[in-house]
Structure 1
Amino acid sequence: MFSVQAIEGSPLRNQGCGVRTGMFEPQGVEWSGRHSESPPLREAPRPIMADQRTHKSKAAPTPSPQASSQAPEPSPQTPPPEPIGGCLLRLYWMIGGFLIAVLCGVSVVSHQGGFSAVDVIYWAAVLGIPLARYVDMTKFAGRRADGEPTTLADWRRFSLAVVIAGIVAWALIHWMRLQGLL
């Protein structure tokens, strides 16, 4: 081990420097003891509350140990937990359905021959997206991106956009396959 030795007559000899240096601590120099290992623990101050009747400030009462062991009741503003079915449905129409359609599109482009079962899976995924959004809207109180409840007009616009994009993408995929572009 490496150690630093104090030289006779040096200022470090028999003087505590106030800092522990671990294995590099000079021999003969020990912890001065002027500093504690850790600061003493203090209690947090209690919040000050105004008394409604006298408008005087007073310290908040300390909760009893019996009251703190009970589970807090949920507040009325806290929404109930989302059912797992609603979460999975929302994941499908937001991500899963589009991912399946893209993977089917890649498969169709690289596939040799005419129409196949992959086309059926593609259309099931594309048409399942608006259906899943409708069920989310009616059964699970689906919401828009701004937090407002989804309306039937929102669903119609979304469905129309998904179906039109699905038709255009399907035509483009088959055109690319027939042209041999990929």
Structure 2
Amino acid sequence: MRDEVSEVAFRLFSEQGFDKTTVEQIAAHAGLSRTTFFRYFGTKEELVLGKMNEFGPRLAAALAARPAEERSWEALRRSFDVITESTADEPQPFLNLMRLLNDACALMTRQWEKTQGWHSLLVPEITRRLGGDPESSGDLRAHALVGSAISCLDAATDAWTATGGATPLSELLDQAMGVLVEPVT
């Protein structure tokens, strides 16, 4: 049911824009009451950003699964394959999501908050890889690496969206992350 409601909502968003589409319209087009809509989604924003929530734990699991001897920067890059691979086969849904995020300021802010939340999931593993205590959140090196990697992902995603996915997201991410050199092992 969540997928069906999301499909209806994204169609309405593309026709009317995010801000002009109401919960009532989404519910009516999906054959639901407003109350039922809120059983599935806490807010209209959650309907859009729900997939972003899923990426954080998946990124952390992918990072933890990387070979122990792999450098931290490369491990971060490879963990982002969780995102780049999901856009490779069917880029249009992710392109639509990114365009929607760019068009609605409130969504962009919430999406930024979610990606910033990835820090707390990724920093412990990078701290461990750098020889520190993963229970301690004070390793500046780990914070800098994770923050830089997420910024590279944001830059690559922006470029990918601007070109309509003409260049694969994975290539753009390689370019963005290739600009920076990992200062620590």
Question: Quick check: TM above 0.5?
Answer: no
The two structures have a TM-score, normalised by structure 2, of 0.32
Q: Which structure is richer in relative contact order (CA contacts within 8 A, separation 6 or more)?
A: 2
